[in-house]
Structure 1
């Protein structure tokens, strides 16, 4: 039960994250994301029911982020997502 609650909290945060919050987390985990890239990523994430703990969904998100913000940014965001789901 605890794991499920933890997963729900992480997924809710990802689905409602702001660009400023994304930048804060990126800085905390030493990941390079610009303000413009953060805004594009948040625009994609907003309103979606994303489950970061589902490998297939996470891979799809990373592909979409690569389209919106570039492959290097997607790689960096994937590092952040990986840290969050540990």
Structure 2
């Protein structure tokens, strides 16, 4: 399981706005190009551990400030699917 976690975290650490837009479309999350760019900027190079509740919640609050509460909740639901 640790190997899969490392792969997920590495991918999130290098995510691009285009990646986020593709995932948003795939999972039905409302996200504009500008929002995707801002969220990618939040995540790139920060080594955020979505498997850690405190770090994930901190990121989600920042995502909510950029997008909306509903989008942040949907992202959290997706994170929960990936981390359970």
Q: Same fold (TM over 0.5)?
A: yes
Instruction: List alignment gaps of at least 5 residues for structure 1.
Output: none
Q: What's the counterpart of residue 51 of structure 1?
A: 49
Rounded Cα–Cα distance in structure 1 between residues aligned with 2:46 and 2:60: 14
Rounded Cα–Cα distance in structure 1 between residues aligned with 2:55 and 2:14: 17
Equivalent pairs, count = 84
Alignment match of 1:63 (pick from 22, 43, 61): 61
Rounded Cα–Cα distance in structure 1 between residues aligned with 2:17 and 2:77: 17
Mark the CA change 1:60 to 1:67 in structure 2 (over 3 Å): closer, same or farther: same
Q: What's the counterpart of residue 33 of structure 1?
A: 31
More displaced 10-residue stretch of structure 1: 48-57 or 70-79: 70-79
Q: What's the counterpart of residue 18 of structure 1?
A: 16
> What is the Cα deviation at residue 64 of structure 1?
1.4
For normalisation by structure 2, the TM-score amounts to 0.86
Alignment match of 1:74 (pick from 69, 72, 75): 72
